[in-house]
Structure 1
Amino acid sequence: MNIDWTLLITAVGLALVFEGIPYFLFAERMPALLTRLAIQPPKFLRFIGLAAIILGLLVISFGRSLSS
């Protein structure tokens, strides 16, 4: 298995950028949002996580189709 470390590090960096954007733009609202998320049932959080995974895979698939 040959790992493209440059691509992996770039992907992790991009994920951190996207994770940081809401905290930077909505710093005042984030504590309330995180508190609301913390009281949600696990089933809801799993659904949100699954939706994010599916959306991420679709974006990756779309991006790869553009380069072919």
Structure 2
Amino acid sequence: MTDFVAALGLVLVIEGVLFAALPGAAKRSCAHVLATPDGLLRGVGLAAAVLGVGVIWLIRG
């Protein structure tokens, strides 16, 4: 559970830095996401989740 909370904290740090450093790019990115079809977002999200599980599996063994 400690690793999970640390991972959530790291996500918040990365997102916070991106929004603080590049607010214009973050707004444009959000606008592009709104214009993207649901099926494509679902596929990209699923691929990212599978990739994340794969990376964790490789690291943790």
Query: Normalization by structure 1: what TM-score?
Result: 0.70
Q: Which has the higher helix share?
A: 2
User: Of 32, 35, 51, which aligns to 2:31?
Assistant: 35
**Large movers: runs of 4+ above 6 Å:** none
Identity rate, percent: 33
Higher relative contact order (CA 8 A, sep 6+): 2
- TM-score for the superposition, normalised by structure 2: 0.76
User: Structure 2: 5+ residue runs without aligned partners?
Assistant: none
Q: In structure 2, do the counterparts of structure 1 residues 49 and 31 end up closer, same or farther at CA, with 3 Å as the change threshold?
A: same
Larger radius of gyration: 1
* 2:53 alignment partner, one of 52, 57, 62: 57
* Residues 1:25 and 2:25 aligned together: no
Q: Which runs of 5 or more structure 1 residues have no equivalent in the other structure?
A: none
The number of aligned residues is 61
